[in-house]
Amino acid sequence: MTRLQLPHSPSANDEKLLDGYFRQFSAGEISRREFEDLTGKEWWWGDILESLGQRNLPYPTVEPKRTDAQQKLADEVF
């Protein structure tokens, strides 16, 4: 017997894709904007954090990429 998939119920493949996107986001491999583009929806930050926790994934950490001028200004200010 085949289980009926309703349009609003995610399939196992959809869940695997979403898990992969969360792993990439957690690892800093994709930005939040890319994550939202891939998932096709806007996410509240709290929902992202909750979903990372449900998957036992760490919060993303990314080193900022600064231009020389930005780094100079940061060094002067801090």
> Which tens digits make up the pLDDT trace of 44-63?
999 999 999 999 999 998 77
Name the domain count of the chain: 1
| Domain, as residue range, for 21 | 12-77
Cβ–Cβ < 8 Å for 51, 22: yes
* pLDDT tens digits, one per residue of 3-48: 434 455 557 788 999 999 999 999 999 999 999 999 999 999 999 9
Instruction: Specify if 67 maps to a domain.
Output: yes
Between CA 69 and CA 31 the distance in angstroms is 23
Phi, psi of 65 (to 5 degrees): -105, 115
Instruction: Specify if 7 maps to a domain.
Output: no
Instruction: Specify if 1 maps to a domain.
Output: no
CB atoms closer than 10 angstroms to residue 35: 20
68: its two tokens: 């020389």
Q: Which pLDDT score is estimated for 20?
A: 96
pTM for the whole structure: 0.68
Q: Which pLDDT score is estimated for 10?
A: 59
Instruction: Specify if 5 maps to a domain.
Output: no
